[in-house]
Structure 1
Amino acid sequence: MSTDRPIFVVGCPRSGTTMLQLMLHAHPRIALPPESRFLLPAYFRRHEFGDLSDPAQRRALAEWITGTLHFDDLGLEASEVIAAVATAPPTLGSALGTVFKLYADRFGKPRWGDKRPSYLRNLPVILRLFPDAQIINIMRDGRDCVASLKETPWRPADFNELIDYWARSADASLRAARSYPTDVYHQVRYEDLVADPETHLRAICRFLDEDYDPAMARPSELAPVAVPAYKTWHSLTRSEVTTQRVSSWQERLSEEEAAQCEAVFGDRLTRFGYQLSTPARRGPRIRAARTWLTVRDKLGPARLRAEDVRGRLKSRRRGPALPARLTAAERAD
């Protein structure tokens, strides 16, 4: 029986999430949009939307979604989206999923989902909204991610923040691998995927319970229809399947920067199968930084519960129900 479970692509920024999105979008049954960027804001503002059993509240939510900055990248008519969300099941997940489903309908495909790096550190949120979701996490050498992040116009001023970002993403990946069953969470390394696309795409398709399609190994052919207009052609070519950028940190990071990366997250690199170029440093400052990263990420579930309480206190209205009721499994619960 064909499945209709939603699919979410996650990973640290600059780890190949767009390439993987395009690979999946090339499948004849799967449509994944460019980054929509309204899902997490909608979740964290959910108490503002009130009781979604009221069609007027669902319409107000839909109007908010269609007014977000990147909505036009989906190529959907706002009026069509508003009407569909207004008649969707009365939950936040259903409202958000309806938008992604309409995007998939553009291409005549039954499976839908979304891609955004920040979902990696918010997987409990994704699974609260979409209980039968399947998560694909693409992992890349942290030194390459940091080197690429360093060159982006929106990078933080502090190099340590880039290091911290990958370390936290790596910890989220390790936590997810421990927490979720094999039919919910799948991880692939960027380096393995670009070196042998067919083998690893076949593994992804087995995870998704889909047949492999050779078009998936040629994602750049879909770039004009599956990547938002604000991306330049230079950025589109980054979605081509090539090993040229593997270990490019060796030219893009100084010796001191590379040593700094390895000193902070070298233990994580080795756990994902990457080889260190310098001996691991284990001074008291490094141990303290590692301890802080671990404690902070363990506080994630507690922060979610505290945020729920704060949201209820801020609003006299009842917050919306969360789980989507769009897929066969969700409707059966």
Structure 2
Amino acid sequence: MSATPGPQSPIFIIGTERSGSNLLRLILDAHPRICVPHPPHFMRYLATPAGSYGDLSVEANRRKAAEDAVGLLRRHIHPWQHTIDPQRVVEEAAPTLFGVVAAVYDQYRQAEGAARWGCKSTFMVDHVDEALAHFPEARFIWLVRDPCDVGSSAKRSIFGYSHPYRMAHLWRRQQEQARAALSRWGPDSVHLLRYEDLVSRPGEEIERLCSFLAEEPHPAMLEHHRSPAARHTAGWAEAWRNAGTPVTTDRIGAHQAGLTPGERLLVDKVTGPLKSGLGYPVHPDAHACPTPSPVELAVRSAVLRLRVEFRSLQQDRNYALRLGRDVYVRWLRIRAHARVHLRRGHAGTPPVAARRSAA
């Protein structure tokens, strides 16, 4: 690690959504040297279209990727306070999709006047190797939370799977990915942080976190809820209301009220050994819990989702933005599929002269 970390040592929060990542983002963003905007989840939504851009060392192809990234940002459910110039992204980006994403974040960093940028997209757990290939000094914070509490939160949130059983599978996969990253790259690159520890002893955990990041702790990190960024976040959606409140332990064990006994058993059945290895208790009868049938799971998931959508329509300021983003992402995927199909069609069509000769 360099003595003075800068743009070449960005910070990533990885793990599973509903694990306190907004809290951690705002704590980090309160540090005067670090900026962590709310993520548009570029890699999550652009990974599928990425193959349609072609060789990104070609400027025209890189421009397509940059324009799609900025288009996604324009439809972001948590608008950024700085406008990103796609032409600058094209000029400054390395010739990969992640290079384009990094150029967007670095432009935001420069507008903020910060030394380092951070990314809260927990889906970056699938792209650790890519990030380290670009930034060997990048740092990853593996934020983990009791999967029952994650499932309880997701059950009422518009983000993630509503059904706890499905959320448990996502939690297990993403924690396995994070654990593999820690094993491969070691504690100098990946720092394990439990949500429960962060909210129970924030001063101590923030000090350890800053040591990992090679930054001096700053008092503002313990007062993150007073920042304009926290108030801004809290006003957009019901799921983010707690962004404007001080650190609290009130949400530890939220599954006791948020999940039924059967749902807790299902979560433990799916996550058992990994959950136990991370220091969370597992119910001894979880293994015997019957797995829901596909029909039961589909129906229950649909009912839960409808309830969440109805509540979001009533309470979330960014409801229309989210729908617009989802439509845009689908359009990107349709267009990407068409590009690939046309490219394959052209590749399989012999030149005109060859066709005439064959005739």
Indicate the TM-score class for this superposition, using the shorter chain for normalisation. 0.7 to 0.9
- Post-superposition offset of 1:117: 2.1
Distance 1:51 1:110, change over 3 A: same
1:35-184 map, 5 Å: 35-68=39-72, 69-70=75-76, 73-78=79-84, 81-92=85-96, 93-153=98-158, 156=161, 158-184=163-189
SS of 1:9 mapped into structure 2: strand
SS of 2:119 mapped into structure 1: strand
1:243-262 map, 5 Å: 243-262=249-268
Matches of 1:251 and 1:94, distance apart in 2: 43
Equivalent residue number for residue 18 of structure 1: 22
Matches of 2:181 and 2:275, distance apart in 1: 16
- Post-superposition offset of 1:75: 2.4
Equivalent residue number for residue 331 of structure 2: none
Distance 1:269 1:86, change over 3 A: closer
Among candidates 29, 33, 40, match of residue 37 of structure 2: 33
The 8 Å contact of residues 73 and 228 in structure 1, kept in 2 or not, is answered as: no
SS of 2:66 mapped into structure 1: helix
Matches of 2:150 and 2:267, distance apart in 1: 11
2:12 is equivalent to residue 8 of structure 1: yes
The two structures have a TM-score, normalised by structure 1, of 0.77
- Post-superposition offset of 1:130: 4.0
Aligned residue identity for 1:3: P
Equivalent residue number for residue 222 of structure 2: 217
SS of 2:140 mapped into structure 1: strand
What CA deviation, in whole Å up to 9, does each residue of 1:184-206 have, x standing for no partner? 10110000001111111111111
Matches of 2:77 and 2:183, distance apart in 1: 34
Distance 1:36 1:281, change over 3 A: closer
Matches of 1:132 and 1:97, distance apart in 2: 14
Among candidates 262, 274, 291, match of residue 268 of structure 1: 274
- Post-superposition offset of 1:109: 0.3
Distance 1:17 1:225, change over 3 A: closer
Equivalent residue number for residue 326 of structure 1: none
The 8 Å contact of residues 94 and 100 in structure 2, kept in 1 or not, is answered as: yes
Distance 1:55 1:266, change over 3 A: closer
Matches of 1:167 and 1:25, distance apart in 2: 28
Matches of 1:179 and 1:165, distance apart in 2: 21
Matches of 1:205 and 1:152, distance apart in 2: 30
Structure 1: runs of 5+ lacking an equivalent: 287-309, 318-333
The two structures have a TM-score, normalised by structure 2, of 0.71
SS of 1:73 mapped into structure 2: coil
Equivalent residue number for residue 330 of structure 2: none
Rg larger in structure = 2
What CA deviation, in whole Å up to 9, does each residue of 1:99-143 have, x standing for no partner? 101211222101013111222244334334544321111110111
Identity of aligned residues (%): 28
Aligned residue identity for 1:161: R
Among candidates 203, 207, 216, match of residue 202 of structure 1: 207
What CA deviation, in whole Å up to 9, does each residue of 1:281-317 have, x standing for no partner? 445978xxxxxxxxxxxxxxxxxxxxxxx9xx87969
Matches of 1:316 and 1:197, distance apart in 2: 53
Matches of 2:51 and 2:174, distance apart in 1: 28
Q: Which moved more, 1:16-25 or 1:231-240?
A: 231-240
Structure in which a larger fraction of residues adopt helix: 2
SS of 2:32 mapped into structure 1: coil
- Post-superposition offset of 1:158: 4.4
Matches of 1:233 and 1:145, distance apart in 2: 16
Matches of 1:101 and 1:90, distance apart in 2: 12
- Post-superposition offset of 1:71: 8.5
SS of 1:74 mapped into structure 2: coil
| RMSD of aligned Cα (Å) | 3.0
Aligned residue identity for 1:64: D
The 8 Å contact of residues 34 and 226 in structure 1, kept in 2 or not, is answered as: no
SS of 2:198 mapped into structure 1: helix
Structure 2: runs of 5+ lacking an equivalent: 292-336, 345-359
Q: Work out which structure has the larger RCO, using CA pairs closer than 8 Å and 6 or more positions apart in sequence.
A: 1
1:288-327 map, 5 Å: none
